[in-house]
Amino acid sequence: MDRRAFLRWLLGTAAAGAIGLTGLWRFARPVTAPEGESVAAAATAEPSPGRQAFIGAAETGGALLSFAILSDLHINPDLPERAQHLRHAFDDLKAFETRVEAVIMTGDQTDYGRDRDYKELAGVMKKYKLPPVYANMGNHDYYNIWMDKSDNFSRETMPNGKTDEGSRRAFQQFFEVEKPYSEGQVNGFTFLMMSQEAYVQEKPEVSEGCWYSEEQLKWLEAKLAGQEKGRPVFVMIHQPLPEAGSDGGAHRVIPAKRFRAILKGHPNVFVFSGHTHQDFKNGQPHYVKESFHWFQNSSVGRVLNRQFQNDRENEAQGLYVQVFEDKVVVRAREFTSRSWIAGSEWKVALRKA
């Protein structure tokens, strides 16, 4: 089975469950609500001659923190344009006049979670002196179970001698974290990297959804409870949330009711998701206001239109976030042309303690 046939089959199984990708944006409308190789060493190493570092050439006009969010890289050595898109993103960020103090990756860093995917990713990242990098897992980072010994798709022989645990271990080793989910701190601000903890080898009922264990949810609850009142916190997920009142399913967060309940008492929480790859230029809303603030990113590897087609093959999109004393500013960026995306800038006032 080739890649296209495999992905069509995956989408077909989702559609059969009435939770296909085309429904992901049905609930993403604005609402009004009450308020194998370690990347860490590469990210901190001194660049060799000819490598350029991220440079804070100018102050950010009072910003307390500035960072970039890159989602859905889908690095695959058989598709070299994906790595090229990531290089475009890093080249753009290193030329910024304002600081880039962290790079956040929100899932699907790899296409299939194979050793050679991670090797390709490391090869790109090691050419740059990066600020701190934090990442979580997406569903594609578990896809190694679909690959047979010849590196072909084989759902008939899945899991092909591999495990979800092996996928978690590969991710954890690469990003040097003890669990799929982790915490990051930059300039005194907290990043909570929520991760899908199982895929279909361990939990077939999860399908392409993002399942969080009770342990991870209690960890999230404790971390939020320990934050300074009024201070923004950044929670990173991969798959988007379902409609309010639903507990999630394929291509969504599971269990979403519990996740939303935990966030409800924290009005300055900012949630960022990926997975849908939706073009910032296609008119779909990318910001949803609930009791928290939810932003839905596009993709570095493959930007998609409303019909989930890659009609902007040369584009790589992401977000740049700046935190000020009284607000958070989120802007969409097209990295290949090094340009801001019109109509995709949000200034969100922070709720005072």
Q: Give a yes or no: residue 44 inside a domain.
A: no
Q: Give a yes or no: residue 255 inside a domain.
A: yes
Say yes or no to pLDDT of 40 above 70. no
pLDDT tens-digit series, residues 59-100: 456 899 999 999 999 999 999 999 999 999 999 999 998 899
Instruction: Kindly report which listed range (46-55, 170-179, 251-260, 304-313) carries the lowest average pLDDT score.
Output: 46-55
* CATH assignment of the domain containing 156: 3.60.21.10
Q: How many degrees, rounded to 5, is the angle at CA 14 between CA 13 and CA 18?
A: 120
**Omega within 30 of 0 (cis) for the link into 80:** no
pTM, to two decimals: 0.85
Q: Do residues 278 and 296 touch, judged by C-beta distance below 8 A?
A: yes
Q: Structural domain tally of the chain?
A: 1
Q: Give a yes or no: residue 17 inside a domain.
A: no
User: Residue 12 has what pLDDT?
Assistant: 53
| H or E element that contains 336 | none
> Quick one: tokens of 172?
């954890």
> Quick one: tokens of 203?
């939990």
Q: Please give the residue range of the domain that contains residue 177.
A: 56-128+137-349
Q: Give a yes or no: residue 178 inside a domain.
A: yes
Q: Do residues 109 and 177 touch, judged by C-beta distance below 8 A?
A: no
User: pLDDT: is 99 or 55 the higher one?
Assistant: 99
Q: How confident is the model at residue 305 (pLDDT cuts 50, 70, 90)?
A: confident
Q: Do residues 195 and 172 touch, judged by C-beta distance below 8 A?
A: no
